[in-house]
Chain A
Amino acid sequence: MNPSPQQQTLNLFIGIGLVLVVASVAGALLKRYVAHGAPNSVIDNLNARIKAWWVMVLVIGLAFIFGRAGVMLLFFFASFVALREFITLTYTRRADHDALATSFYVILPLQYFLVWIEWYGLYSIFIPVYAFLLLPILAVLAGDTTRFLERTAKVQWGLMICVFCLSHVPALLNLKIPGYEGRNALLIVFLVLVVQSSDVFQYVWGKLFGKRKVAPAISPSKTVEGLAGGVLSATVLGAFLWWITPFNVWQAALIALAINVMGFFGGLVMSAIKRDRGVKDWGDLIEGHGGMLDRLDSVVFAAPVFFHLTRFWWT
């Protein structure tokens, strides 16, 4: 009656794979018969997104094969790449060198180590408290006061976004949910699938029905219709995925709604930073698909909220 966690995960990945196969075939057909092989920004963008999904699903699937260690390593690497993208676009000075080296070589690995050994009491405050106090100390010792507050604040912000928030995805593996033992990896699938599909649904709804812009100054492509349709569609998807979670149907829907709203605002906030810095993408990790932070902006904002909602009510 009850399939094993491995079987359930496998089924889920097969299901996602089938959806992607259908999407890829549809994309190829559109390219061939609608665009006639010529460049077409909408269809090319669609195909680029499908390809990015393939990469994401394969990478996460591969990490799952290696179990807990694989997931930790994957997100450790993602944090590293994201932090590198973030600091690259941030104003720093020579005097920040020690603070930056400490961020990359001490704080980042230590945060993931704390998640690995499941020390909740420390990994949930390590960066907001200890790194927060240590970084300005390192910066002040270098003796350069130019734009001091701005510099220390930005390094701290980068660590919060790229390391602290993102580490809450693998931290989902640490939650002890009665009756859900051995299935925590599915919480990661739920989070990533719901939030990332919300991006896709918003894009589709926006393209089909989008009229009124939500935030023209920040992200001209985001519309009210796209937002509402996308968030609601992804919420429905979350409700349909209740069977892989410890939640019942309406709980799954409410949680999906919460993380979709967080994800939407995450995308908006990160777009505002990019706009301020005058760049289109955070990096170019995968040719033409932007950087790590472009892919993860919504997950980053949703992860800690999802983690704490689940921890508060289900553990």
Chain B
Amino acid sequence: MGHLHRVGRASTVTPTVDRLGAGAIVGFARVLTGVRALWAGGPPTAGPRVYFANHASHGDFALVWACLPPDLRGRTRPVAGLDYWETTPLRRYVINHFFRAVLIDRNTETRTEDPITQMATALEGGDALIVFPEGTRNVSDERLQPFKSGIYWLARAAPDVEFVPVWIENLSRVMPKGRILPVPLLCTLTFGEPLKLHEGEEKEAFVARTRDALLALAPPEM
């Protein structure tokens, strides 16, 4: 695919426009959701990390992004699905230039690059990532869907990297799947304690441990 490199160069050509665009999105998200970040698991730190969050809305990664301190934001990249973001030129521009996303092909049949390798490469380059281990947006009444095993394979590929759980509360109510008009509600993002893959930890154990760590940050249900 090779467009990761293309993106890197393009961002330095029009950095002002991209920074303004990203700033506008962050500002809009802030006004709409009055978003509040609770760093329950220690203050934000720079360097390669993986923020993993619950996924209920297209705005999820923008909100995680908006909560990060500005200097960290520039080095934090969402991992997003190629099938959604490559469909129109505008989406493609926004996701590549404003967010510098790592775009992955979710279709195992046709893809030419391995998503785990793509993500690991970004981490090796010093970037942090935002991932949604549920794989797809949650439209059920369940708080959190089962995790896909991707988070384990990523941890295997980058065993020294910390995984930070991020519970996004309310954004699914602001902009539920299938709706375009967002409703202004207050959102809270809780950043939990970072965790790492233990030596010899099994896939099921790590997936369950990360999922429990995320769920533990969720406030009691109404």
Contact of B36 with A88 in the complex, beta carbons under 8 Å:
no
Contact of B183 with A100 in the complex, beta carbons under 8 Å:
yes
Q: Of B139, B181, B220, which is within 8 A of A101 by CB?
A: B181
Question: Which of A63-71, A89-97, A208-216 forms contacts with chain B?
Answer: A89-97
Q: B191-211 interface mask toward A, CB cutoff 8 Å, 1 = contact, 0 = none? A: 000000000000000000000
Contact of B181 with A94 in the complex, beta carbons under 8 Å:
no
Which residues of the partner chain B approach A104 to less than 8 Å between Cβ atoms?
183-184
B165 close to chain A: CB less than 8 A? no
User: Could you name 16 residue pairs across A and B whose Cβ atoms are closer than 8 Å?
Assistant: A84-B184, A84-B185, A84-B186, A85-B186, A87-B183, A88-B185, A88-B186, A94-B172, A94-B173, A94-B176, A97-B176, A97-B179, A101-B181, A104-B183, A104-B184, A105-B181
A283 close to chain B: CB less than 8 A? yes
A80 close to chain B: CB less than 8 A? yes
A284 close to chain B: CB less than 8 A? yes
- New A-B contacts (11) at CB < 8 Å, excluding given A94-B176, A101-B181, A104-B184: A80-B184, A85-B186, A87-B185, A88-B185, A88-B186, A97-B176, A97-B183, A277-B222, A278-B220, A283-B34, A284-B36
B80 smallest CB distance to A (angstroms): 23
Q: Of A91, A105, A278, A283, which is within 8 A of B186 by CB?
A: A283
A151 smallest CB distance to B (angstroms): 11
Query: Which of B139, B170, B172, B185 counts the most A-chain CB atoms under 10 A from its CB?
Result: B185
- Complex Cα distance, B185 from A85, in Å, reads 7
Which residues of the partner chain A approach B183 to less than 8 Å between Cβ atoms?
87, 97, 100-101, 104
The residue of chain B having its C-beta at the shortest distance from the C-beta of A105 within the complex is B181
- Complex Cα distance, B111 from A218, in Å, reads 60
- Complex Cα distance, B175 from A97, in Å, reads 8
A278 smallest CB distance to B (angstroms): 7
Size of B's binding interface in residues, CB under 8 A: 15
Q: Which residues does A use to contact B, with CB under 8 Å?
A: 80, 84-85, 87-88, 90-92, 94, 97, 100-101, 104-105, 277-278, 283-284
Q: Which residues does B use to contact A, with CB under 8 Å?
A: 34, 36, 139, 170, 172-173, 176, 179, 181, 183-186, 220, 222
The residue of chain B having its C-beta at the shortest distance from the C-beta of A285 within the complex is B34
Contact of A92 with B173 in the complex, beta carbons under 8 Å:
yes
Interface of chain A, helix or strand or loop or mixed? helix
Knowing A92-B173, A104-B184, A278-B220 are in contact, say whether A84-B179 is a contact too (CB < 8 A). no
Which residues of the partner chain A approach B222 to less than 8 Å between Cβ atoms?
90-91, 277
- Complex Cα distance, B172 from A97, in Å, reads 10
- Complex Cα distance, B125 from A200, in Å, reads 57
A99 smallest CB distance to B (angstroms): 9
Which residues of the partner chain A approach B181 to less than 8 Å between Cβ atoms?
101, 105
- Complex Cα distance, B220 from A90, in Å, reads 13
- Complex Cα distance, B182 from A105, in Å, reads 10
Query: Which of B173, B179, B220 counts the most A-chain CB atoms under 10 A from its CB?
Result: B173
- Complex Cα distance, B139 from A90, in Å, reads 19
- Complex Cα distance, B191 from A305, in Å, reads 45
Contact of A88 with B170 in the complex, beta carbons under 8 Å:
yes
A273 smallest CB distance to B (angstroms): 13
- Complex Cα distance, B31 from A104, in Å, reads 14
- Complex Cα distance, B184 from A101, in Å, reads 8
- Name the 7 nearest CB pairs between A and B, nearest first: A91-B222, A88-B186, A100-B183, A94-B176, A88-B185, A84-B184, A101-B181
Which residues of the partner chain A approach B184 to less than 8 Å between Cβ atoms?
80, 84, 104
The residue of chain B having its C-beta at the shortest distance from the C-beta of A87 within the complex is B185
The residue of chain B having its C-beta at the shortest distance from the C-beta of A147 within the complex is B222
The residue of chain B having its C-beta at the shortest distance from the C-beta of A284 within the complex is B36
The residue of chain B having its C-beta at the shortest distance from the C-beta of A146 within the complex is B141
- Complex Cα distance, B21 from A78, in Å, reads 28
Which residues of the partner chain A approach B34 to less than 8 Å between Cβ atoms?
84, 283
- Complex Cα distance, B183 from A90, in Å, reads 14
- Complex Cα distance, B185 from A66, in Å, reads 29
A138 smallest CB distance to B (angstroms): 13
The residue of chain B having its C-beta at the shortest distance from the C-beta of A291 within the complex is B186
- Complex Cα distance, B181 from A145, in Å, reads 23
B137 smallest CB distance to A (angstroms): 12
The residue of chain A having its C-beta at the shortest distance from the C-beta of B32 within the complex is A84
Which residues of the partner chain B approach A101 to less than 8 Å between Cβ atoms?
181, 183
- Complex Cα distance, B183 from A104, in Å, reads 7
